[in-house]
Structure formats: C-alpha cells, structure tokens
Amino acid sequence: MDFPLGFKEKYEKLLGSEAADFWAAFDEEPIAAFRTNPLKEGQQDFPDTIPHTDWGHYGKVSGRSPEHVTGLVYSQEPAAQMVAQAAAPAKGMKVLDLAAAPGGKSTHLLSFLDNTGLLVANEISSKRAKILAENLERFGARNAVITNESADRLAAVFQGYFDLIVLDAPCSGEGMFRKQPEAAQYWTPDYPASCARLQREILTDAVKMLAPGGQLLYSTCTWAPEENEEMVAWLLQEFPLELQEIPKINGMTEGIGFPQTARMYPHHFRGEGQFAAKFRFTCDHTCKKIKPFRHRLTAQQQQLWQDFQKKHLKADLTGDLQTFGDHLYLLPAGLPDMSKLRIVRNGLHLGQFKKNRFEPSFALGLALKPSEVKKCVKIDRQDFQKYAAGETLVLPQSLANGWYQLVLEGNGLGFAKVTGTTLKNFFPKGLRFR
C-alpha cells in the first residue's frame, strides 16, 4: 500500500531490524474475527478460537445471519478485542466506556459483567451513539445506560464514581491503515501530536470520575509513541496512578520503556494495530455522595407492568423503573441524577404504555432468555427470513391470543403478538431486510 509522507521514515527508525517484517504485513489480508455472547442462552460451537480468550474466534459472520440478528455474535477484529480483555471488569463493578461507539468494547465489557453492576457507554457523536444503542440492544444489555456527552459534562455528574474506566481514545489510527487504507490520507507527521492534545483533555476528565482504587484502561489503535508511551509518562507524572501489568498474549509485545503496557504489531500479533495501558488510581479521596434519581410510575402504569410481568415473565428484573413519556425503562440501581445529560438509552427499554395496556419492546424480547419467559414461539431459519423481511407468519396450529417471545435457535428475537394462527410482525421496520 502507499503510505503517507513521513510515515515510513518514522517507523524505519522506530522498528529498526523489524521494519521489513512490519511493512510486509501490510500486504497481507486483514484478520477478521468475532466474539460470542455469553449472555445468550442458545450457544453454538464455533471453530478457530482466539487463544487465551473466553469468547473470541477468528472468521467472518454475516450481519444478516440469525447468529448476528439475535445478538449471539459480534464482529470485532482481534487486536480491538484485547482492550476489554485487558480491562476484564469483575462482576458488580460500575464501568464507564468513555468513547464507546460502535460498541465492540462495550459489548465485551458487558460479557464480563454478566448482567451485574453497571455500564455507562458514552459516545460524543450523536450519529455514532445511535449505532452504539442498536448494537447494545441486540447484545441484550440489561445494565447499560447510553449517553451522548463530552467527558467534562460526564465528570460533573460522575465525580469519583466508577470502579473502571475504559478510554479507547480518538487517535491517529495508524493501526487501522491495513484494514482501512483511506485512514492513511489523514495522516501527517504532526497528526499524532495533535491527537495527543485531545487525549490529554479527555484523560484529565476521566481521572476525575475514578473511585478510590479504580482502574483506568487507556488504549489507542495507533503505534505513535506520542499518543501511547508519552501519554503514559504524562499520566504518571500528573495524577496519582500506578501502572498495572497487561499479560502479553498471542504475540503482544512490551511498550517502549514501559514493559507493563502492550503493543500489537501485525507482524507479531494476528490482527491490526493496538496499544493498551492499565492504571490503578491510588488516591483515597472521598467519593461524591450520589443522590439516586427516580421518576416514579403512576399507579395505573405500575399495575399494567405488574400484570404483564406476572402473565409473561419468569424473570425478576431488578433495578429502578422509570418512565419517559409513555415508555418504561429499567435502570441499574444507584445511578445519580442524570437529568442534565444527553441520554440516548436510559437502561433497558421494557416497552410502552398504550390505552389501558402495556406493549413489550423489541429490546426486552432480545434481552430475556427463553427460560425467563412463560410463552414463546419457536421459528426456524425459513420463518426468520420471512419475519426479517416484515412478513406475517402463519403458525401450524392455533394458540391463545397474546404476546409471545419469538425464539430462533435458542435465543430471543423480540416479542410478537399472536391471534389464532397468525403471528403479527413486530420486527422493527428500520432493521428489516430481505
């Protein structure tokens, strides 16, 4: 491939005798991969496991396959998978993914949390935040809030709050040149330094949101030392942080001058380019007291939801119920007042109140396991093709009228309404395809 002026000279000097192998790797095909979703009940055996990972596999998946549409798999290249792999939150943690779109790292973090704790997935771009919301909904997120904010506005609300913050920072993108050659046209010798200035601004606000003993996982998809090791040195100088070791797996190499950090080069690691550093916040400041925010249901809304839950669900969905207009959401407990923030998705969308009735959402039917629902209709791949195209399905036998979870190969595909032998189509119009 053609490299921008100054790029080859920089990495000839940085890599020395390894440079020839580094350049040769750019002539190879990018490595595709995906992760399986442990939150789903209907699991499958996939080949070509990525070593030392719980859910990673090499290979491609179709965005129109049942596995993808039900949220069982998520496409994410191998180096990008190493960020949440290094973060590895424990169950029950309060986690912030500060630059979360399109959702690869957020969904991976949710896999570790296993429907416990909290994930705030933030994206400053409103357009990309909508894509993030779609991907987290498909994954079946129950304990996630999606915000569309700048880091400084988040810091005003979440001071001293998070056990773990992941920042896969906006960067010069050198590690993606092979996969996305068009990214190279934006690169100049001064571009990494320009990106580093923005990264320092975001990190300054990120540290404010760490709880005592909290962890910060900083990563980029570039090899530029200005955005990587120089940023590590700056963080250690400016804030009460200590470096944590990132295990070197699958061909990762040590960072320059900081052996605890990790670099991923395509001539060593089977994937694209990435850098990661993990820190522990050593400050013992007193956390800002969080006053829980509640938006109470009316007595009628409470009754309608309880009636639906009793009739259709086996699961006890824990958290705070909140209404926004006629829509009902389930939020993780213990959130602060977020009324001044731009919210894209306030927890799990349970459904909508209509005239004296409650209609479940598509998101609820994705998030619930079939074993957590009292009534379901199983469909095969042929039915799936019709349903995804927006067609009404005809059932082989009559069923009692009402709501049923659609189940495809062991996983939910939303709720649909049955009238006799007719299954009405509730697949969202914006997601339909043939």
Q: Catalytic site residues?
A: 221
Residues 6 or more apart whose CB falls under 8 angstroms from that of 319 comprise 142, 143, 330, 331, 332, 333, 347, 348
Q: Quote the CA–CA distance of 243 and 81 in Å, as a whole number.
A: 21
Residue 9 marked in a binding site: no
Give, in order, the Cα–Cα distances in Å from 271 to each of 79, 102, 172, 218.
5, 18, 18, 19
Residue 105 marked in a binding site: yes
For Cα atoms 108, 139, 67, give the angle at the middle one, nearest 5 degrees: 105
CB-count burial class (<10 Å; 0-12, 13-18, 19+) for 422 = middle
For β-strands 118-122 and 144-147, DSSP reports them as parallel
- Tokens representing 394 are 């005809």
Please say whether the beta carbons of 173 and 188 come within 8 A. Answer: no
Which stretches of 88-150 are DSSP H helices?
104-113, 126-139
Secondary structure class of 262 (helix, strand, coil): strand
Residue 100 marked in a binding site: yes
Residue 416 marked in a binding site: no
Residue 102 marked in a binding site: yes
Q: What is the DSSP letter of 34?
A: E
Residue 320 marked in a binding site: no
Residue 168 marked in a binding site: yes
- Please provide the DSSP assignment of 353-368 as one string: EETTEEEE-HHHHHHS
Question: Would you say the C-alpha torsion 371, 375, 379, 385 has a positive or negative sign?
Answer: negative
Q: Which residues are annotated as a binding site?
A: 99-105, 123, 168
